[in-house]
Amino acid sequence: MNKLKLWAQKFSEAWTACLLCMVQGDLTVLTLNHAFTASKTGSIAGIAFVITTTFASINNKWANLWLTGLLTMLADIVAHPTHFGPQWAEAACTGLGAAMLCYLLERKQNGVSII
């Protein structure tokens, strides 16, 4: 897979998950600042994923999901302070959300209905 395409996919998964976790699901309070902060998390997660897959081949979908979630969680911890609970709580939710998006997008790419 093209590295830029891979980065864009992981960026979008992490960005979406981070944005939703920051506002705790309340889309009415979204601001450009939220989008900018989420873009930091997405960029870091995308770059980390591309670097990781440069040195290690990830051919297993479960390893892909796990790595997406873990790297998104770490990127979220680095990118901004938490908005709820302990420092790791929002980051863990963001990582889980990114992993779920990764799972859904992978199913859609393989032609499996996600609804």
C-alpha neighbours within 13 Å on the C-beta side of residue 7: 11
Band the pLDDT of 42: cuts 50, 70, 90: very high
Q: Would you call 58 exposed, middle or buried from its count of C-beta atoms within 10 A (0-12, 13-18, 19+)?
A: middle
Query: Percent of the chain having pLDDT more than 90?
Result: 57
Lowest mean pLDDT among 20-24, 34-38, 45-49, 110-114: 110-114
Summarize pLDDT for 56-88 with one digit per residue, the tens.
Answer: 887 888 889 999 999 999 999 998 888 777 888
CA distances from 41 to 1, 57, 59, 113 (A): 22, 23, 24, 29
Query: Can you give the pTM of this predicted structure?
Result: 0.86
Largest CA distance in the chain: 41
